[in-house]
Amino acid sequence: MDETHAEQVVVDRLLGPQAVPLRLHQGAYVDEAEVAELVEALAFLVQAYRGRTMVPKPIALALVDISARFENRFYTQEQQERLEDIAHELQRLAEELFDLSG
């Protein structure tokens, strides 16, 4: 994976017309592979941006209030817990991405 591809994955999966949070709210199917690719891309960007003081605006926008977008009240308790785990991991990566000390 390269930086451009990783950025595109994060933006597509979080902001695009087929964004994971949007589909979750609609009750549509979300493939675990898409979520895994999103987490992998964001983890890649954390490393790629390490030491930089700027993050591209689309990436910052994609990560605004990330945890609130991974909810669906129609899912089972087990599914909702999985979504919460995903949201927490994405939030952790976002915090690491924006950490200016690293």
What does the mean pLDDT of the chain come to?
A: 88
Asked if pLDDT for residue 47 goes beyond 80, the answer is yes
pLDDT of res. 43: 97
Asked if pLDDT for residue 36 goes beyond 90, the answer is yes
Looking up tokens 């994405």 gives 90
Look up the pTM and report it. Answer: 0.87
First to last CA, the chain: 22
pLDDT of res. 58: 94
Distance between alpha carbon 75 and the CA centroid of its chain, in Å? Answer: 19
Q: Which two tokens stand for residue 93?
A: 């990566």
Q: What percentage of the chain exceeds 70 in pLDDT?
A: 92
What number is the average pLDDT over the span 7-15?
96
pLDDT of res. 32: 86
Asked if pLDDT for residue 69 goes beyond 80, the answer is no
Which one has a higher pLDDT value, 99 or 13? 13
CA-derived radius of gyration, the chain: 13
